[in-house]
Amino acid sequence: MVKLQLAMDTLDGDEALGLAASIAPYADIIEAGTPLIKSVGINIVKKLKSIHPEKIILADLKSSDVGAYEANMAFTAGADIVTTQGITTLATIREVQGEANKWKRRAEVDMTGVKDPVARAKEVKESGISLVLYHRSIDEELTQGALWDERAVNTVREMCNLGLDVAIAGGIHYDILPLLSGVPLYGIVIGRGITAQPKPAQAAEKIARRIREIWPA
């Protein structure tokens, strides 16, 4: 089953908790985004897990160094998944994965900025990683017009063919979903496509329904 991940990048902890409460019925994974954690601290992860124990809670730390140290902090707070960066050293990626193994949880490698995501995915798989994120940069979208197109979809498909769980993120909304039909995704990460809508819960319900139509369980 393809999972819907709610990405929350608000800087306000109370707003994040409110969003999570309203959208939880439709989301499988609740993400404490990097800006949110930087703004209010790792305790937001603890609060989200306490309120939504049945959900997968992702701490988007994007660790680039001292990987085990940061991962332990997030897992201690209740995170089920912690992220590191594909552009960092394999040593850090291995440290985050090693900590995930100790906790029997998961590490995810975010491929933002990686020039060859497929090649890097092969490398991190050899380091024990089983979950990667194809992440189209928001800054590139806003400044360079980067779009979801056939090339991006084919890259995601190649990553899936490596036997990895692959999630996708970056400017995804309802109308993009059919482009990815047939790609065996692990998760679809949506932030603004839900949180910036006039009625976020309704937007999430509509997207969740569409995901189930395109990727029936």
Residue 171: its pLDDT value, please?
Answer: 87
Number of domains the chain contains: 1
Q: The whole model's pTM is what? A: 0.94
Residue 138: its pLDDT value, please?
Answer: 65
Domain that holds residue 63: 3-214
Residue 3: its pLDDT value, please?
Answer: 98
Q: Which residues pair with 57 in a beta bridge?
A: 30
Widest CA span of the chain, in angstroms? 43
- Rounded Cα distance between 3 and 28, Å, is 6
> Which structure tokens are listed for 17?
């908790």
Residue 136: its pLDDT value, please?
Answer: 83
Looking up residue 171, the CATH number of its domain turns out to be 3.20.20.70
Task: Profile the chain (217 residues) by mean pLDDT over runs of 10 residues.
Answer: 97 98 98 98 98 98 97 98 98 98 98 96 97 82 64 95 97 92 97 95 98 93
Residue 140: its pLDDT value, please?
Answer: 61
C-beta separation of 88 from 65 below 8 A: yes
Residue 217: its pLDDT value, please?
Answer: 72
